[in-house]
Chain A
Amino acid sequence: MRTRTRTTGAIALAATAALALSACSSGGESGGGESGDDSITIGIKYDQPGLGFMEGDTPSGFDVDVATYVAEKLGYSADQIEWKEAPSAQRETLLSTNQVDMIFATYSITDERRESVSFAGPYFVAGQDLLVAADNTDITGPEDLEGKNLCSVTGSTSAQRIKDDYAAGVNLLEQPGYAECVTALVAGSVDAVTTDDIILAALGAQPANQGKVKVVGNPFSEEKYGVGLPPESDQCETVNEALQAMIDDGSWEASIQKHTEGTGYTPSADNPPTFDPCQ
């Protein structure tokens, strides 16, 4: 019967290992959700250099600066913030299920989104624009893209808008992230990259891209970046006051400057923005 114990043993071992593994992974992943009084969970992008970017466990970027400022006004110091990744497709879910308390993740305010979540702000007005090589002079707007190669992330609204409204004959390359697009742009394989201007400027400000690319500066849409809040939140007014304070004391502008330095980028005339009424 030695073999029998051996099998049972092996199966038991496998089962225990499975339990242990799942236990430790779920253990590591919890701690989002219900924040007590001593911490606040904020959703940001982790892969958007200059806006929301996570290096090990140190976040950086304009969205992060604004989030940290607002959290401080709400009574949370920087080390009381728990950061959580908020990919575009999951932002509504994260808010409506209370897995995060706020989202600062290049989150455009739209009527459609207002049906499922609340917004404070906007804290920035961006516009969809183009990033081109620094020495490019023949692309000054989306209508110049006829027959040119354009790169964007998979499923981007910006690229779709160019195809529909400005240049039906554009060649569209879809990549998983904007950084891939910039790599192809610097190499000269694509002529332009499209998304919101501040995202493009922040990409251009990365040390490796300095001086190689520029933002065209002819935005063809208006994207109001709001602070995403859970549907029934009562914090809209408080957050707006904090945003106003940040704009008034100059740290809002300083943060934009810092993250787009060296690209000659200036935010559109709608900035600093006027807040939408809280609902």
Chain B
Amino acid sequence: MTPQQTVLFDASGPRARRLTLIGSLVGAVVALGVVFLLLRAVQAKGQLDPTLWLHAVDANAWTNYYLIGLQRTLEAAGLSIVGALAFGLVFGLGRLAQSRLVRWLAGAVVEFFRAVPVLLMMIFFWLLLATADVDNSSFWGVVLGLVLYNGSVVAELVRSGVHGLPQGQREGALSVGLTRGQSLRSVELPQALVAMLPALVSQLVVVLKDSALGAIISYPELLQSARRLGAGQGNMLQTLAVAAVMFILINWALTRLAEYLSHSLRRTSGRVGIEGAGLETGAGLGTGVTVAAADLPVPGDEGRQPGRGR
């Protein structure tokens, strides 16, 4: 809980606490009742049959489906985030270039790929590469779609990260005799990259989730593997539930990592951390939300002043 919240209301007195407790208990009972009714409806359809669930989590399911699918998801996501970083660096620096033409071109490319739905790009590259005789066109369809979109987001992060640095950094670099380009490469970019780290990890969550779109273009990633297992065992809903839990756990862990990074960076580098990088507003169209999440206070971060640095 942030100090903001604690300040919004008094610590509850005995009466309020009692009311809260009773309310929560009633709420819990109602919730349990709803869950019970849902389970009964699901049971009536035979979906709680233990064999269906056992076949969704037995050794065969893990070794022949989930782990293979997870590996493909990670392959696509890993290659995509690296590609997105390279794309983002090139076009982010392009947007900071001194030449107006380069700035404009880089800006147009970035804005274009941020506006086009990832699924459309995946379908386009998948079908394009398939007719162009490329092996595994669905894999490259997924990767290219993810690289172009997330690369554009990273480009924005790079740009806003550099813009968010204190003026003194560049002034200092110029005054010791570095050129504008040298200052950018050796002084500003390294700091911006460090400040970007939490946002990059958050972006990995986006990449992982979006890689599940690969199922629509028949890339056999985790979701598609779960579906395939379900097709063979007649327990599609159960296997999809397992896949969903795997996605949630992995992404939750990554989100926590992003929060931890942002917390520790904020401590070590003060204002030049994530806030200074202006990530919240520069978070990029599209996924800004997830990026912005890295800027949210870490639970238990009692000492932090809300709104500081704005």
Tell me if A179 and B68 are in contact (CB < 8 A): no
The reply to whether A93 and B133 contact each other, CB–CB distance below 8 Å, is yes
Take A18-B79, A33-B135, A87-B218 as given contacts and tell me if A56 and B68 are in contact as well, using a CB distance cutoff of 8 Å.
yes
A11 at the interface (CB under 8 A from B): yes
- Assess whether B82 is interfacial by the CB under 8 Å rule: yes
Q: Contacting B234 at CB < 8 Å: which of A32, A46, A93, A182?
A: A182
Given known contacts A25-B139, A29-B135, A90-B130, A18 and B236 CB-to-CB distance under 8 angstroms: no
Residues of the B chain whose Cβ atoms lie less than 8 Å from the Cβ of A1: 186
The reply to whether the CB of B119 lies closer than 8 angstroms to some CB of chain A is no
**Distance, CA A160 to CA B258, complexed state (A):** 49
B83: chain A residues at CB < 8 Å are 18
* Bound: A58/B47 CA distance, A: 27
Q: 1/0 contact trace for B32-59 toward A, CB 8 Å?
A: 0000000000000111000110010000
**B236 close to A21 (CB less than 8 A):** no
Interface residues of A in 1-43 (CB under 8 A from B): 1, 3-4, 6-7, 10-11, 14-15, 17-18, 21-22, 25, 29-30, 32-33
- The residue on B at minimum CB distance from A5 is B186
In the complex, identify which listed stretch (B99-107, B223-231, B242-250, B296-304) lies at the interface while the others stay far away.
Answer: B223-231
Contact A176 B133 (CB under 8 A): no
Report the Cα distance A33→B45, complex, angstroms.
46
> How would residues 253 to 268 of chain A score, 1 for a CB under 8 Å from any chain B CB and 0 otherwise?
0000000000000000
Interface string of A176-197 (1 = CB under 8 A from B): 1111101100111000000000
Given A47-B231, A208-B234 in contact, is the A187-B45 Cβ separation under 8 Å?
A: yes
Asked whether B46 lies within 8 Å of A179 as measured between CB atoms, the reply is no
Residues of A within 8 A of B130 (CB): 89-90, 93
Asked if A7 contacts B135 (CB within 8 A), the reply is: no
Contact B136 A49 (CB under 8 A): no
Determine if B171 is an interface residue (Cβ-Cβ < 8 Å).
no
Whether a CB of chain A sits under 8 angstroms from the CB of B264 is no
How far is B86's CA from A17's CA once the two chains are assembled, in angstroms?
11
Interface assignment of B286: CB less than 8 Å from any CB of chain A = no
In the complex, residue of chain A having the shortest beta-carbon distance to the beta carbon of B230: A179
Q: Are A14 and B231 in contact (CB under 8 A)?
A: no
Least CB separation from B63: chain A residue: A56
Q: Does A97 contact B (CB under 8 A)?
A: yes
B215 with A176: CB separation less than 8 A: yes
A29 touches B52 (CB 8 A): no
Bound Cα distance A21, B189 (Å): 25
Q: A30-B135, A56-B65 are in contact. List 18 more A-B contacts (CB 8 A).
A: A3-B190, A6-B190, A10-B190, A17-B82, A18-B82, A21-B78, A21-B82, A29-B136, A33-B135, A46-B220, A49-B232, A55-B232, A176-B216, A178-B231, A182-B234, A186-B45, A187-B47, A208-B51
**B residues within 8 Å of A by Cβ?**
45-47, 51-52, 55, 60, 63-65, 68, 75, 78-79, 82-83, 85-86, 89, 130-131, 133, 135-137, 139, 185-187, 189-190, 193, 215-216, 218, 220, 227-228, 230-237
Interface residues of A (CB under 8 A from B): 1, 3-4, 6-7, 10-11, 14-15, 17-18, 21-22, 25, 29-30, 32-33, 46-49, 53-56, 58, 85, 87, 89-90, 93, 97, 99, 176-180, 182-183, 186-188, 206-209
